[in-house]
Structure 1
Amino acid sequence: MPAGDLITRDGQLEWRGALLGAGTPYRMTRLEGWLDLGETRGANPDRPGRHGLLQGSLLLGRRTVTLSYLVSGVPRERFGQVVEDLRTLTAPGERPVEEPLVIRLDGRSRLANVRCVRRTVGVEKLYAVGHTTGAVQWEATDPRLYSPTEHRAATSLPAPPTDGLRFPLVFPLAFGAGKAGGRLIAVNRGGAATWPVWEIDGPVTGPMVTERDTGQRLVCHPDFTVARDQTLVIDTDARTVLLNGVNHNDVLLTRQWFPFPAGAPARVDFTATSYDPAARLTARWRDATL
């Protein structure tokens, strides 16, 4: 089941296939770090011999999300299990990796890839009668919030023209239909740029992906071939190049990584040094906000 599908109302969080927040034993009392801007990092060097600083880079660092919760009104015989379920749900594995956390507010669900870094369960006077408060904290190395739905767009290679001018020329001239295919359009409906994953299905030799408006390109070696039933996956955020899951980073000769801008269509061309109608380029992306 895709992350976020369990959510039915505002104020709910889905984590590891379980719900927290509204309508659950773990009622939200406060949520921090979700709609906020993540921490910033940058370097503004001093202006030599003058007041002020020179403007340097400004980038976002991690996002920290904290849910403060209340457990109260649970039947006393169930209270201990409710607490234990939360402890199990938030326990890290031996080598924890980021997992999707989905939260719905104002009728809109967003997703962040996070790890649980903190959990508190208050054991105080009222704990014995089934009342406790605490917090769960997650940390995301990527500060963006994404749409739970992953979007896709695909195209084949441009077909070679099958007609054109014929001699002797006879007016009116017929120039033919030109090339078909070879371009896809992707729209990121979020408020921040998002980095796509490219999938190139063979057979194709020397594939090239070009952002038409900026001219930025991802170019494979002209002799590199993706065979039939193989898929080359280029993750522009992770900067990885995998052929059927095996690292082939060296085949990508030109690395002009480009994201999909916020709120505007990205027009992307797919070309290669050879033509096969079965070759296909697919873009996968999520709308992003910060």
Structure 2
Amino acid sequence: MPIPAAYNVRPDTGHPSETPYAPLSWPRTFLTWTSADSADTIALTGDISGRNSPAGIAMTAGPAGLGMPTFDLKADQLPNMDGGLFRSTRATTRDITLPLVIRGVDRTSLIQMHNRLMRALNPNAGPGWITATEGDGIARHLECYYVSGAEGSEAQENAGFTWMKMALVLRAMDPYWYSAAERQYDWHLDTGTALPFLSSSAYPGFFPLRISSASFNPSGLVDAVNDSSVEAWPVWTAHGPFTSLGLENVTTGQRFRLRDNVTVPTGKALVVDTRPGIKTVLIDDVNAWPQMNADSALWPLRPGMNQLRVTATGLGPTTLIRLHHVPRYLSYVGG
């Protein structure tokens, strides 16, 4: 039988009462769309009151697809037995639905804002970026193409003289959200000779974040943290001179190594891009895949702590090995 209890009565445990939890004040999530050429950034959770601008865009209740991506599970059916045998899983493309309302102080301002959004969404120009900024100020990006939703409907509940509603459907080929800051690790002989680092232009608003630097100690390990549940694929840039370069993830047992007779001289650079869909090894912009050892792998950083080791010979004062990666997440709030 049920035990009657009042919802606001706590049992006496004999210990001093705990301090009641005080809810934190938390600003609302801010969402923007950046066009393919990064020339225009439009607030999708903006002001539609008309007090600050003639027209604006706001999001109504019901956005979908901003959390975890959908996963495709592969399994083999077992003969003469119940169930199946799991084989693999992968994240599929992600569809996002954003219910929006555009409002202007007059018809002209409404049309101008509508046309501005249409130009920024045009998939013929390439993918744009959704940027979600949480109340703590942390921003994450997702590269998307416009699919549908802005065809227009003049039904009474969808449009008026100075306003209109639409439910945009956007598709992300890469389903993971990316951080707005790159993580960076350096290996060099003299910390005063480190070359300047410029943030990547692949995503708007990125800034470099130096984590640590290390020397070329063959027995020394550097801890690299991937604060996500998703693998991160680094880009290595190695400035000469050096010979027999080895890049090893001790945690996973994977490593990349150039052949022992391969030397990158002063003024030249090796770039190893491990990112999915790219996977290139270049020395001075020339394909260097044949210069790799046969057992080399373009390895990722696993979620959590990774112990890395960089080894090389024939070093000089301008030698600099740099790893940088952009953490990616399951959801716009992390994960």
Q: Is TM (by shorter chain) over 0.5?
A: yes
Distance 2:45 2:128 in 1: 21
CA distance in structure 2 between the partners assigned to 1:283 and 1:116 by the alignment: 33
- 1:157, 1:272 within 8 Å by CA — same for their partners in 2? no
Secondary structure (helix, strand or coil) at the match of 1:55 reads strand
Matched residue, 1:71: 102
Alpha carbons of structure 1 residues 154 and 185: separation in structure 2 relative to 1, 3 Å: farther
Q: Confirm whether residue 153 of structure 1 aligns to residue 172 of structure 2.
A: no
Q: 1:32 to 1:244 in 2, by over 3 A?
A: farther
Q: CA distance change for structure 1 residues 73 and 49 in 2, over 3 Å: closer, same or farther?
A: same
Matches for 1:198-217 after TM superposition, within 5 Å: 198-217=236-255
> Is the counterpart of residue 12 in structure 1 residue 31 in structure 2?
yes
Residue 189 of structure 1 aligns to which amino acid in structure 2?
A: D
Q: Once the 2 structures are TM-superposed, how far is the Cα of residue 124 of structure 1 from its aligned partner? A: 0.6
1:201 Cα offset (Å): 1.2
Partner of 2:69: 38
Q: How does 1:1-290 map to 2 (within 5 A)?
A: 10-16=29-35, 17-24=40-47, 25-29=56-60, 30-35=62-67, 37-93=68-124, 96=126, 98-107=127-136, 108-125=138-155, 127=159, 129-156=161-188, 180-182=215-217, 184-238=222-276, 239-253=279-293, 254-264=295-305, 266-290=306-330
Q: By how many angstroms is 1:228 displaced?
A: 1.9
CA distance in 2, matches of 1:125, 1:46: 49
Letter in 1 for 2:106: P
1:216 CA drift (Å): 1.3
Identity of counterpart residues, as a percentage?
24
Secondary structure of 2:124's counterpart equals coil
Q: Compute the displacement of 1:154 (Å).
A: 0.6
Q: CA RMSD in A?
A: 2.6
Q: Residue 77 of structure 2 aligns to a residue in which SS?
A: coil
Distance 1:147 1:154 in 2: 20
Number of residues of Structure 1 aligned to a counterpart in Structure 2: 259
Q: 2 CA distance for matches of 1:151 and 1:224?
A: 28
With structure 2 as the length reference, what TM-score do the two structures score?
0.69
The alignment's TM-score, normalised by the length of structure 1, stands at: 0.79
Kept in 2: contact 1:64–1:140 (CA 8 A): yes
Segments of 5+ residues of structure 1 without an aligned counterpart are 1-7, 159-178
Q: Which runs of 5+ in 2 are unaligned?
A: 1-26, 48-55, 191-213, 331-335
3-state SS, counterpart of residue 81 of structure 1 = helix
Q: 1:89 to 1:148 in 2, by over 3 A?
A: same
Cα distance change on mapping 1:91 and 1:277 into 2, 3 Å: same
